[in-house]
Amino acid sequence: MEYKDIATPSRTKEILKQYGFALKKSLGQNFLTEPNILRNIVAAAELSEATNVIEVGPGIGALTEHLARSAKQVLAFEIDGRLIEVLADTLSPYDNVTIVNEDVLKADLVTVAKETFQEDLPLKVVANLPYYITTPIMMHLLKSELPINEMIVMMQKEVADRISAKPSTKAYGSLSIAVQYYMEASVAFIVPKTAFVPQPNVDSAIIKLTKRATPAVEVTNEVNFFKLTKGAFLQRRKTLWNNLLANYGKEEATKEWLTKALALAEIDPKRRGETLSLQEFADLSNALESLKQDEIR
């Protein structure tokens, strides 16, 4: 059966008018009005009847309906209660969609997924993430116990560039490391700002993240590894040494500990954080841990 796509400028305006729906800037509501872009997102996600999907922020269901046509089941989290009635209407042709009116950051994801998905199939996240909270949502999903194989998500192009950035580039930073530790990242394609209602100020990008079988590098303490990588970029223009002092303290014993760890990891303290690879950060983190352990012993 053929259905009229939600994602056209006229149909989007018609739906918003029908429900007297006023967009909330605080929720980062920008609705896609280009069916071709949605088809390209689904193509990049490589969905099939043997795939379950989680979506965050379905809006009026523009992407959701395309997911429903390709995947086995779709579970969508929508924080805005005003949209539940709209979604019940726009997605009424699809019986494989479950909408949950909950903040994805507060939801018990594992329990909701177990209750929703009838079959234990490969799980993907496909979503147009709200710009104001892209990173927290993504990290929350990555660190959850959901067996996510891939994430195909839309976000501001600048954030996508940072996530997929390589060492010694302007965009490379702690976010690049945090995501690439868990996933392989690549930008699939760019989405112009003209494809949205209302039009945002910047272009977007679709980024594809594929879960690694094991983290990219081996670290003895994940929490301290991420503390180190965050600290190394406190002030980008400063040397690694200066950022480490700002992060860990300037006491003589601390300086000695940092000096020994840098020597053990064979890293020049005069380098900047952005020049270190994931492996070098892991080496330094592990060196800091081993020297701390020696002290404790």
Q: What is the 8-class DSSP label of residue 96?
A: T
Q: Distance (Å, rounded) from C-alpha 140 to C-alpha 103?
A: 12
The torsion of the CA quartet 21, 22, 23, 24, rounded to 10 degrees, works out to -120
Candidates 131, 145, 143, 147; CA nearest to 56 is: 131
Candidates 46, 43, 52, 48; CA nearest to 73 is: 52
Token pair belonging to 32: 């896609």
211, β-bridge pairs? 183
Q: Distance (Å, rounded) from C-alpha 196 to C-alpha 155?
A: 13
Query: What is the biggest distance separating any 2 CA atoms in the chain, rounded to whole angstroms?
Result: 73
CB 112 within 8 A of CB 100: yes
| Residues tagged in the binding site annotation | 30, 32, 57, 78, 103, 128
| 276 burial via Cβ count (<10 Å: 0-12, 13-18, 19+) | buried
Q: Distance (Å, rounded) from C-alpha 254 to C-alpha 245?
A: 8
**How far, in whole angstroms, is CA 130 from its chain's centroid?**
11
Token pair belonging to 275: 């020049």
What is the amino acid identity at position 179? V
CB 138 within 8 A of CB 179: yes
| Residues tagged in the binding site annotation for S-adenosyl-L-methionine | 30, 32, 57, 78, 103, 128
